[in-house]
Amino acid sequence: MNTFIRLFRNFILLSIPLIVLCIFTYMDPMGYMSVEYPMWREEKDTVNNLFSEKEPSTVIIGDSRAKSGILPTIISEDGDIYNIAIGGATPVEMYYAVKNYINVHGAPENAVVIFAPFHFYEADNWDQTLYYNYLTLREIMEIEAEAIKCRDEKIIYNGWISDIISFKLRLPNKYLDQIYSARFVKNREENMKKYESVRKDMGFTSFGEEEYNGKLNYEAHQTRFNLSPMEDVYYRKLLDLLSSSGVNIIVEQGPINEASDASMHEEFMRGFEQYMEGIESNYPGVYVEKTIPVYDNSCFGDSNHLNRNGAERFTKEILKKHGSIF
């Protein structure tokens, strides 16, 4: 019996450092996470908490091209529009973002929806979604159940259950390298500045800072538009949610650079346009832009994202095109 007690005591003592590390990992992600995390954190805080002033009448929804493409402060300086897009998100994450937003804030009057064609292929950043613990366990289980039906190997893969457990418990096998790299809290100051910058720009943030980029984007490397059943299900769930909530929906396309446009495969472009035509047919009350705008390379901060000058141009064009709703 004494031997058992000693073993149990030693086990507890050995577990204390692990428990303390897990608690730290949970409590202070701003201290050690990379600089992209504050953008996710700011969006989640915005979605799940009331605004200090009035609720926005228009929200921007989508991925990094939406996040870095529309500057709300150009359209309205009084907070009437907010960008709740997420860099790296697909329709999967944005469905839950919008669902939670409506539960907390109520439905906005308008929603501008922008997703890069590439994010209809696959849940390419699913590991990042888990890593940042963006979703609740219940939401993850709903997604996994849908992924099983869709046979989505990006979400249902060998070891997916253990990964979810590791991320939710903040185990060292997932976070220790990043914590060590940041010396625990070295990244906090930079992350807080980024968080405040995103908040000041009403959800907007840049992903590329170059003044010119003529490299090829994701889509230019694709020969066909290979639609993921999982992404299609959640894109339609997102549109259904907005429609049933009485939201005026505008589907727009983020610009691509000249270099990528010149390299686009005709079959890919035709497939994407046909998909958008199907969405337009299935949602007759939704404005659907099917043509991807092409901007000169000087508007791009990297191969996929507008720089701030490009974002100002795109925002002004959106304002001119849909000015009646703002």
Domain tally, the chain: 1
pLDDT digits (tens, 9 = 90+) for 23-54: 999 999 999 999 999 999 999 999 999 776 78
Confidence (pLDDT) at 10: 62
pLDDT digits (tens, 9 = 90+) for 265-297: 999 999 999 999 999 999 999 999 999 999 999
pLDDT digits (tens, 9 = 90+) for 88-123: 999 999 999 999 999 999 999 999 999 999 999 989
Q: What is the DSSP string of 66-107?
A: HHTT--HHHH-SSSSEEE---TT--HHHHHHHHHHHHHHH--
Quote the domain boundaries for residue 118: 2-325
pLDDT digits (tens, 9 = 90+) for 149-203: 999 999 999 999 999 999 999 999 999 999 999 999 999 999 999 999 999 999 9
Identify whether the C-beta of residue 240 lies closer than 8 Å to the C-beta of residue 102: no
Query: For residues 221 and 218, what is the distance between their CA atoms, to the nearest angstrom?
Result: 6
> What is the residue-averaged pLDDT of the chain?
94
3-class DSSP assignment, residue 140: helix
Q: Give the torsion sign (CA, 128, 133, 138, 139).
A: negative
pLDDT digits (tens, 9 = 90+) for 9-19: 666 666 788 89
CATH number at residue 11: 3.40.50.1110
Tally the C-alpha atoms within 13 A of residue 110's C-alpha that lie toward its C-beta: 18
Tally the C-alpha atoms within 13 A of residue 41's C-alpha that lie toward its C-beta: 20
